[in-house]
A and B are shown apart, each in its own frame.
Chain A
């Protein structure tokens, strides 16, 4: 069984989704909300998403890729939002391997070499 993707929005839904996949490797990409035309308010997220998606075929079997929209710009800028407080996110886009200290933040997500390393190496 290969890998699967879940697309969700907001912190409570993220927590529920991650818990439901407990025991399997979980990778998550956090991006700013998209408008009606599908464009994110976060320009770096717009750049990063296609680069990350191009590397998804490297995901290990049984793993889950959670694509998570965090909220609008005002929500994100609030230093006390749940993503910052509980997941210790410092910027968007963030790509991480859930439950480990392994993550790539902002421009690091533009580098396909690093994305591939996160997906394939221990």
Chain B
């Protein structure tokens, strides 16, 4: 019959009618990147170099408080960049105090204006958002401010903020959707609490702040808020900076405590209630001890949750294309070429299982992946000996193993730890702490005393650590370190 004949001629139409998405035989794009953050943009810009037809989809689902932001991802908008700028604002406050001892005279009391700082920071971020858009357009990468999700093989649906849907197909996909802050799941949390997603654009000073969490996000935020003169309390469930060297973590905590940050240890919030409206208003937080039945109440103007981040992988249609995710964590397992279990779908950045959640790692992984795809290289991303820095009031830079992990992996008898306190010269005149800055290296005695761990606690820790990371990558040994003459007078010479 005519009907059957027509269906035979167009099997794709038959499949569509029956609810199956067909595999397209030619694609709209060579590459579609879902997520315009550190990893996604690096991959997209790299692919454009090889004359590939690329699209980037980026969309920020507003926070419960209504915060949103432009192109660039977490680091640029609500992470590293504003964090470091606000940390700097706090350091400058300290410097102003120190300056009196160096002879600067000013009689007025020094105060901090939250709005002035926030407007400047947001203005800078705005210029970065714009810069990325110019870069993408200039390299002919198509950018859509739309939420991308898979609907079938090689096919995604992009929904913009007006709800308009469009379908696009591509030969290859890179998922780089990143993470968002986790909420506690207690009464009143979404309505009354803020997260790092809200903090850096908060249109009013947060005032007396309760920070919940013990991650680097929690400690860095608590640190700069206190440095700006606010009354800050950190509520910690168990240990500080899980996953980091615990001796260093405790030193950081001690320093913060001695410098005006209150800590409530071994408690978790169970309820948040708004007692008074306003910006910021007043909140009453009820918390329960983790070791007994004790219940306490804490009053604050702002409650900042920093209890973890969850990958944005649950609502992007991965089930429609069969991409495996870790059901418990939401992270995507990939092989050492960032490939998921579906050969034409790759992933980079914070959403990867068992990989470091750092901007430079995502950028490196994204770039190398694209070079492997389109330039025929074979170089894989090196996730070993990646240096990091925590920008707490006393900064902490690290590269390689923590003391605990080194002992676990190599055995206590095969490890030698060399350590030293130091007193930065700049801290002597203003009489700042002479016994807080600290550095240690962990060496493998079975391998020529190779330096396998580097840790430094002190000013400019990031700047100090970067160079040592390169040396460690070259196989630095204790002997080589000893034979390197120090620069004087600097902290790093220790």
Chain A residues near B (Cβ < 8 Å) = 100-104, 108, 111, 113-114, 117, 121
B137 touches which one: A100, A101, A114 (CB < 8 A)? A114
Of B125-133, B181-189, B244-252, the one contacting chain A is: B125-133
Residues of chain B contacted by A121 (CB below 8 angstroms): 133
Q: Is the CB of B134 within 8 A of A101?
A: no
Q: Which of A101, A108, A111 has its CB near the most chain B CB atoms (within 10 A)?
A: A101
Query: Could you write out 13 A-B pairs with CB less than 8 Å apart?
Result: A100-B126, A100-B130, A101-B124, A101-B129, A102-B130, A104-B134, A108-B138, A113-B137, A113-B138, A114-B134, A114-B137, A117-B133, A117-B134
Residues of chain B contacted by A103 (CB below 8 angstroms): 130
Q: Is the CB of A101 within 8 A of B123?
A: yes
Extra contacts, 7 of them, besides A101-B129, A113-B137 (Cβ < 8 A), are: A100-B126, A102-B126, A102-B130, A108-B134, A111-B138, A114-B134, A114-B138
Which A residue's beta carbon lies closest to that of B123? A101
A90-B50 Cα distance, complex, nearest whole Å: 32
Q: Which of A104, A108, A111, A117 has its CB near the most chain B CB atoms (within 10 A)?
A: A117
Q: Which of B124, B134, B137, B138 has its CB near the most chain A CB atoms (within 10 A)?
A: B134
A100-B123 Cα distance, complex, nearest whole Å: 8
Which A residue's beta carbon lies closest to that of B140? A113
Residues of chain A contacted by B133 (CB below 8 angstroms): 117, 121
A56-B445 Cα distance, complex, nearest whole Å: 70
A117-B29 Cα distance, complex, nearest whole Å: 21
The 8 A CB mask of B237-268 against A (1 = contact, 0 = none) is 00000000000000000000000000000000
A61-B70 Cα distance, complex, nearest whole Å: 24
Residues of chain A contacted by B134 (CB below 8 angstroms): 104, 108, 114, 117
The 6 closest A-B pairs by CB, nearest first: A101-B127, A101-B126, A102-B130, A101-B130, A117-B137, A113-B137
Task: Kindly state the interface size class of chain B when it binds its partner.
Answer: 10 to 19
Chain B positions 93-145 with a Cβ under 8 Å from a chain A Cβ: 123-124, 126-127, 129-130, 133-134, 137-138
A53-B193 Cα distance, complex, nearest whole Å: 49
Chain B residues near A (Cβ < 8 Å) = 123-124, 126-127, 129-130, 133-134, 137-138
Residues of chain B contacted by A104 (CB below 8 angstroms): 134
A111-B135 Cα distance, complex, nearest whole Å: 12
Which B residue's beta carbon lies closest to that of A122? B145
Which A residue's beta carbon lies closest to that of B126? A101
Which B residue's beta carbon lies closest to that of A104? B134
Residues of chain B contacted by A114 (CB below 8 angstroms): 134, 137-138
Q: Tell me, rounded to whole Å, the shortest Cβ–Cβ distance linking A73 to chain B.
A: 27
Which B residue's beta carbon lies closest to that of A105? B134
A48-B124 Cα distance, complex, nearest whole Å: 26
Q: Tell me, rounded to whole Å, the shortest Cβ–Cβ distance linking A107 to chain B.
A: 10
Q: Which of B123, B124, B130 has its CB near the most chain A CB atoms (within 10 A)?
A: B130
Q: Tell me, rounded to whole Å, the shortest Cβ–Cβ distance linking B369 to chain A.
A: 27
A102-B132 Cα distance, complex, nearest whole Å: 11
Q: Tell me, rounded to whole Å, the shortest Cβ–Cβ distance linking A119 to chain B.
A: 13
Which A residue's beta carbon lies closest to that of B128? A101
Which B residue's beta carbon lies closest to that of A97? B130
A117-B132 Cα distance, complex, nearest whole Å: 13
Residues of chain A contacted by B130 (CB below 8 angstroms): 100-103
Q: Tell me, rounded to whole Å, the shortest Cβ–Cβ distance linking B45 to chain A.
A: 16
A114-B127 Cα distance, complex, nearest whole Å: 15
Residues of chain B contacted by A102 (CB below 8 angstroms): 126, 130
Residues of chain A contacted by B127 (CB below 8 angstroms): 101
A121-B134 Cα distance, complex, nearest whole Å: 12
A121-B137 Cα distance, complex, nearest whole Å: 12
A100-B125 Cα distance, complex, nearest whole Å: 11
A121-B70 Cα distance, complex, nearest whole Å: 13
Which A residue's beta carbon lies closest to that of B125? A101
A120-B172 Cα distance, complex, nearest whole Å: 30
Residues of chain A contacted by B123 (CB below 8 angstroms): 101
Which A residue's beta carbon lies closest to that of B127? A101
A117-B129 Cα distance, complex, nearest whole Å: 13
Q: Tell me, rounded to whole Å, the shortest Cβ–Cβ distance linking A116 to chain B.
A: 9
Residues of chain B contacted by A111 (CB below 8 angstroms): 138
Q: Tell me, rounded to whole Å, the shortest Cβ–Cβ distance linking A99 to chain B.
A: 10
A114-B123 Cα distance, complex, nearest whole Å: 20
A40-B125 Cα distance, complex, nearest whole Å: 34
Q: Tell me, rounded to whole Å, the shortest Cβ–Cβ distance linking B77 to chain A.
A: 13
Which B residue's beta carbon lies closest to that of A113? B137
A7-B126 Cα distance, complex, nearest whole Å: 28
Which A residue's beta carbon lies closest to that of B131? A101
Q: Tell me, rounded to whole Å, the shortest Cβ–Cβ distance linking A87 to chain B.
A: 13
Which B residue's beta carbon lies closest to that of A116? B137
Q: Tell me, rounded to whole Å, the shortest Cβ–Cβ distance linking A56 to chain B.
A: 19
A19-B120 Cα distance, complex, nearest whole Å: 21
Q: Tell me, rounded to whole Å, the shortest Cβ–Cβ distance linking A111 to chain B.
A: 7
A110-B123 Cα distance, complex, nearest whole Å: 25
Q: Which of A102, A111, A113, A121 has its CB near the most chain B CB atoms (within 10 A)?
A: A102
A114-B138 Cα distance, complex, nearest whole Å: 7
Q: Tell me, rounded to whole Å, the shortest Cβ–Cβ distance linking A91 to chain B.
A: 15
A104-B138 Cα distance, complex, nearest whole Å: 12
A100-B137 Cα distance, complex, nearest whole Å: 19
Which B residue's beta carbon lies closest to that of A108? B134
Residues of chain B contacted by A108 (CB below 8 angstroms): 134, 138
Which B residue's beta carbon lies closest to that of A111? B138
